[in-house]
Amino acid sequence: MSRLEAKKPSFCRSEPLTSERVRATLSVLKGIVTSCYGPAGRLKQLHNGLGGSVCTTSQSAALLANLPVTHPILKILTTSVQNHVSCFSDGGLFTAILCCNLVENVQRIGLTPTTVIKLNKQLLNLCTSYLKSEACGCRIPVNFSSTQILLCLVRSILTSKPACMLTTKEVDHISTLILRAFLLIIPENAQDHIILGKSIIVPLKHQRVIDSTVLPGILIEISEVQLMKILPIKKSDSFKVALFCVSLSGDLSDTGEGNVVVSYGVSLENAVLDQLLNLGRQLASDHVDLVLCQKVIHPSLKQLLRTHHVIAVDRVGVAVMEPLSKVTGTRPIGSLDSISPSSYGSVKELCTAKFGFKHFFHLIPNETTVCSLLLCNRNDTAWDELKLTCQTALHALQLTIKEPCVLLGGGCTETHLAAYIRHKTRSEPEGILRDDGCTQTELQLIAEAFCSALESLAGSLEHDGGEILTDGKYGHFWSVQADSPSVVNWPDLLSRCGCGLYSSQEELSWSFLRSARLPFVPQTCLPCEATDSAGNLTLDCFTAKLSGLQVAVETANLILDLSYVIEDKN
């Protein structure tokens, strides 16, 4: 078939970052993500002008998934952030804002991209080495014999998502449930290599948040009609379970991996139904107590199983098949052929439950490594945001097992890190430069741009026109309300630093964050008594934040290194 119109040539642009349009677009994206950052972040409402669902959020995962981006440079940035969030769940806004700040600050300096990229890599190595070292002044080790630090981490994640619309009491309640759910998926006899179980979030919308709860095992939602058909069953020992991933509806299009033998002159439908009934008789003769099917069970097969006092539950869905396999200790059956006795599993207890207006079938396993978090919230929007936040918090706790430490939040890690970099680049420039062929002057310029990017990121937590201060001992973040008197005794206005670790009643000196000041050595090696005495810290996931820092710098380097953008307009 001939082409209806001539093929258009590709559109080629050199030095894309010099374009005013590109800078303006990058600035708009930065403004969007910056205004979402932190507990006081502003919500964004995303919807299609042609109709469809409306998303109200301040989380990067939901924001970037619903934000249409067309410019290639913005696509690089948003894709990098989305990849980071898909791996670590947390730190998406942190990554995006820091990347935008780095690109913006470096453009003002006028150094060659090669020099900038080399020095950015050196400063990134300096940051990561410091954050991983025992001398780090913004890293706290996690003691798993106490829940204090873990609760603070979960609470910090919950309070940073305002679209969840939680009160202080509700935050405490959900934080406790998330921590309990996390502890339930850790095996009791854990060795060196821990295989975690799974937490399933069960929706219960339009209910009070305080009605949320955690239960061991799996909750399977059933209708009231199904509930009435389930016979009360009690046993002293465990219940035998058969789990099917193949349809038991008699539909010829989905007969699984097995063969259906049909004699001449016999209808296919009757042959399949006979095979299903034979399967039901085998299940009954094998003394199976419960049949669970991912898809549909034929009414005749249900009736047969019911007459043999076998409970049948269908349409459980693909989402719970893996957890059901863990709970029952068996692999899903994918055939209508004769079933091997080894294909059956078991559960400790079966019961029904009602929460709100929903009925559930509750499977309690012999060894609990799967649990159900029954999550309630007042409306659909708040529930969707809370579900995403709970998943982030659970993932952050799991990452803490691999790296048993957390970072100070509330902007304190960023300002402390900026103070540390300024000190190191001034006092030990030779150790940073090595054989890169860069001068100390270039190092100072890039270091200042890097530190300014970190401090601007911390300053993004303030959305109400307040002033940001930093102290000259720890290099922590302090916030002052807007319209405060210009001449004041700072301890009278300040309470605690952003992370909540230090009090303003200590003998500290403060200066405005973006004011000129001499580099100083921030205090390193957090004393144990400091973290033990602080009851309510604001914390960040160590692994997620460290990865976010690396992704932000590497993505900024990639954007700065772009010489041409070639687009196919066909």
pLDDT tier, 232 (very low <50, low <70, confident <90, very high otherwise): low
Mean of pLDDT values over 223-246: 80
Mean of pLDDT values over 258-276: 74
pLDDT tier, 257 (very low <50, low <70, confident <90, very high otherwise): low
Q: Which two tokens stand for residue 416?
A: 């402390």
> What does the DSSP 8-state code read for residue 525?
S
Report the CATH fold assignment for 218-254+264-367: GroEL (3.50.7)
- Of 16-20, 67-71, 91-95, the range with the lowest mean pLDDT is 16-20
Q: With a cut of 90, say whether residue 290 has pLDDT above it.
A: yes
| Segments making up each domain of the chain, as ranges | 12-138+408-567, 143-216+374-403, 218-254+264-367
Q: Tell me, yes or no, if the pTM score tops 0.85.
A: yes
The beta strand positions in 356-475, using DSSP E, are 358-364, 370-377, 405-408, 467-471
Task: Give the model's pLDDT for residue 428.
Answer: 87
> What does the DSSP 8-state code read for residue 75?
H
- Residue 338, burial from CB neighbour count under 10 angstroms (0-12, 13-18, 19+): exposed
Contact yes or no for 470/419 (Cβ under 8 A):
yes
Indicate the Cα dihedral angle 140, 143, 144, 145, nearest 10°. -150
Mean of pLDDT values over 313-317: 91
E strand or H helix at 302, and its extent?
helix 299-307
Amino acid at 469: L
Contact yes or no for 552/95 (Cβ under 8 A):
yes
Using CA atoms, how far residue 538 sits from 66, 130, 481, 497, 506, in Å, is 29, 20, 19, 10, 19
**Which top CATH class is 143-216+374-403?**
alpha beta
Return d(Cα 262, Cα 260) in angstroms, integer.
Answer: 6
Sequence-separated (6 or more) residues with CB below 8 Å from residue 515? none
pLDDT tens-digit readout, 168-204: 999 999 999 999 999 999 988 767 778 888 999 999 9
pLDDT tens-digit readout, 437-457: 889 999 999 999 999 999 999
Neighbours of 370 (CB within 10 A): 24
Contact yes or no for 158/389 (Cβ under 8 A):
yes
Contact yes or no for 342/357 (Cβ under 8 A):
no
Nearest C-alpha neighbor of 549 from the set 39, 26, 28, 92? 92
> What does the DSSP 8-state code read for residue 487?
S
Task: Give the model's pLDDT for residue 207.
Answer: 94
Report the CATH fold assignment for 12-138+408-567: GROEL; domain 1 (1.10.560)
Helix (H, G, I), strand (E, B) or coil at 444: helix
Nearest C-alpha neighbor of 335 from the set 239, 253, 260? 260
Return d(Cα 250, Cα 272) in angstroms, integer.
Answer: 6
Return d(Cα 26, Cα 73) in angstroms, integer.
Answer: 8
Q: Which two tokens stand for residue 243?
A: 């789990």
pLDDT tens-digit readout, 143-170: 888 889 999 999 999 999 999 999 999 9
Mean of pLDDT values over 222-250: 82
Task: Give the model's pLDDT for residue 228.
Answer: 77
Sequence-separated (6 or more) residues with CB below 8 Å from residue 182? 150, 199, 394, 397, 398
